Amino acid sequence: MTEDLLYQIALTSVPHIGTVQAKTLAQHFGSAKDIFKAKLSTLESIEGINISGAKNIKSFTDFSKAEEEIKFIEKYNVQPLFITDKNYPQRLLNCYDSPTLLFYKGTANLNTSRIVAVIGTRNNSEYGRSITEKFIEALAAHNVLIISGLAFGIDVIAHKASVKNNVPTVAVVAHGLDHIYPSEHTGLAKDMIQQGGGVLTEYRSNTKPERYNFPSRNRIVAGMSDATVVIETTIKGGSMITAELANGYNKDVFAFPGRASDAKSTGCNHLIKTNKANLLTDADDLLTMLNWTDEKKPRRSAQREIFIELNENERIIVTILNEKETVHIDELNLKSQLSSGTVAATILNLELRNVIVSLPGKLYQLA
């Protein structure tokens, strides 16, 4: 463990320094240690860092809890993922409230090319079970990582179906990694880890699964996935919160419809009715809309002459698109190192000039 880990963990305990401020500081200084070693005047000069937050960083001395957490991490082979770590889920960096530090037990690649969140009610029907199992089985041949929350109902059905079909699956939990909640799913969590999946959390060991932790957990589920699929949920179900978060992060949301008289599908039907989710009838719908059909297509390449007419930002986007057949908006944001607003404006200009074309699932390719 590096010395910086002590400061990374401590940063999450500083009063008035939330995830947004921590992200700003990490981007400015590069390391957590440098944040604590910075002068007060330097901290106060950073946009978004208030005076009280800067003073709290300089006056922070209680590193004992961070030291205890490092002992736990080392004993149980937990992987800490600070926001600047290359193994940190990069899709989360496009979310304004991305967690400062994550704790991970597992081997699944959290930055694999295809990640789908599968969520739903804790009180599923047989219809919901059947849909979930068939959906996961159909995705098995398409190199997809399944994300869910290890809760009763649709979550655990999705995890179990993933294990059964040898699909890597990661549970994002609302507590520390010293235990599993609910305890009935402890064995399943171990199976997930052994089979190339994992368990992920932003909470330290000995953190209990308090009610207010779950909405915070849901933002990670939505933010680290390319698409969120809602199987069954009531109109006030927790999955509706996750779907709203995914929409807010400009992620694709999908839902399986249910009968108009079925209370367990009122949330899904509402998402579809209000255009907050695309309607799904099977896995092929998802694969098609995300352009994940794996069909071999001839590579498109930009004509060199076109670069003469492009400005600097447009060149950056076209160069990224020239690397492979299709590129997701999240990847363009990350690789270009431009602001999301600049990327959006640049994409629009390139589309209007017929240099690039947009595809379903927020994908783009050269025209």
DSSP string of 43-94, one letter each residue: HHTSTT--HHHHHHHHH----HHHHHHHHHHHHTT-EEEETT-TTS-GGGGG
Is the pLDDT higher at 325 or at 225?
225
Asked, for residue 297, whether it belongs to a domain, the answer is no
Asked, for residue 294, whether it belongs to a domain, the answer is no
Return the minimum-mean-pLDDT range out of 16-25, 85-94, 321-330. Answer: 321-330
Pairing of strands 169-172, 198-201: parallel
Structure token digits, residue 270: 């509402």
Read off the pLDDT of residues 100-113 as tens digits, 9 standing for 90 and up.
999 999 999 999 99
- Is 112 in a helix, a strand, or coil? coil
Give me the domain span that covers residue 184: 107-289
- Is 199 in a helix, a strand, or coil? strand
Return the minimum-mean-pLDDT range out of 222-236, 238-252, 298-312. Answer: 298-312
Residues 98 and 111 in one domain: no
Q: Produce one character per residue of 23-45: b if its CB has 16 or more CB atoms within 10 Å, e if not.
A: bebbebbebbbebbebeeeebee
Angstrom CA distances, 304 to 152, 308, 309, 319, stand at: 54, 8, 10, 11
Q: Which of 242, 259, 289 is the last residue of a domain?
A: 289
Structure token digits, residue 304: 């060199």
Per the CB < 8 A criterion, the answer to whether 100 and 107 are in contact is no
Q: Is the pLDDT of residue 310 over 90?
A: no
Q: Which of 50, 80, 102 is the last residue of a domain?
A: 102
Is residue 63 very low, low, confident or very high in pLDDT (cuts 50, 70, 90)? very high
CA distance 75 to 113: 31
Predicted local distance difference test score (pLDDT) of residue 120: 97
Angstrom CA distances, 45 to 53, 200, 304, stand at: 12, 34, 44
Q: Which of 69, 102, 135 is the last residue of a domain?
A: 102
Mean pLDDT of the residues in the chain:
92
Asked, for residue 296, whether it belongs to a domain, the answer is no
For the chain, what percent of residues have pLDDT higher than 90?
Answer: 77
Residues 48 and 131 in one domain: no
Residues 136 and 285 in one domain: yes
Residues 117 and 258 in one domain: yes
Residues 132 and 275 in one domain: yes
Sheet holding 356-359, edge to edge: 327-328, 363-366, 356-359
Q: What are phi and psi of 274, to 5 degrees?
A: -95, 10
Angstrom CA distances, 141 to 81, 138, 224, 285, 327, stand at: 29, 7, 21, 15, 21
Contacts of 12 (CB under 8 A, 6+ apart): 22, 100, 101, 204
CA distance 73 to 67: 10
Rg of the chain over Cα atoms, rounded to whole angstroms, equals: 22
Is residue 298 very low, low, confident or very high in pLDDT (cuts 50, 70, 90)? very low
Asked, for residue 211, whether it belongs to a domain, the answer is yes
CA distance 82 to 70: 13
Question: Is 0.85 surpassed by the pTM of this model?
Answer: no
Predicted local distance difference test score (pLDDT) of residue 326: 83
- Is 103 in a helix, a strand, or coil? strand
Q: Is the pLDDT of residue 346 over 60?
A: yes
Residues 270 and 326 in one domain: no
Residues 284 and 312 in one domain: no
Amino acid at 251: K
Contacts of 191 (CB under 8 A, 6+ apart): 163
Tracing tokens 């997701």 back to the chain, one arrives at: 328
Residues 141 and 259 in one domain: yes
Sequence-distant contacts of 211-216: CB under 8 A, at least 24 apart: 213/174, 213/175, 214/149, 214/174, 214/238, 215/241, 216/174
Sign of CA dihedral 97, 100, 105, 107: positive
Predicted local distance difference test score (pLDDT) of residue 294: 63
> Residue 171 belongs to what H/E stretch?
strand 169-172
CATH number of 129's domain: 3.40.50.450
Summarize the confidence of residues 265-279 as an average pLDDT.
96
Read off the pLDDT of residues 157-204 as tens digits, 9 standing for 90 and up.
999 999 999 999 999 999 999 999 999 999 999 999 999 999 999 999
Q: How many domains does the chain have?
A: 3
